Amino acid sequence: MGRVKSTFVKVSAKKIYNLGKEEFTEKYEENKEVIDKYAKIPSKRLRNTIAGHITRTVKQRGEQ
């Protein structure tokens, strides 16, 4: 069983994802760079958590 993501991470990921839907892929490393374009996230750990959530969302939806 995985870790539970906080509501802040989920809401932030959804907002960022909606800004740049076309640019996000199933690759975590690429998504970290795309997030930097759309939001100024104060900590690396938070950015990585949001990137992971977005990557998971893209994989679930079957988009690229």
As a three-state string, the secondary structure of 53-64 is: HHHHHHHHHCCC
pLDDT at position 63 over 70: no
Q: Would you state the pLDDT for residue 55?
A: 96
Q: How many CB atoms lie within 10 A of CB 40?
A: 7
Q: How many CB atoms lie within 10 A of CB 47?
A: 18
What is the per-residue pLDDT across 4-53, written as a single tens digit (0 to 9) for each?
889 999 999 999 999 999 999 999 999 999 999 999 999 999 999 999 99
Domains and CATH numbers, the chain: 7-61 (1.10.60.20)
- Residue 12: exposure state from Cβ atoms within 10 A (0-12, 13-18, ≥19): buried
Q: Give the closest residue to 63 by CA, choosing from 10, 22, 5.
A: 22
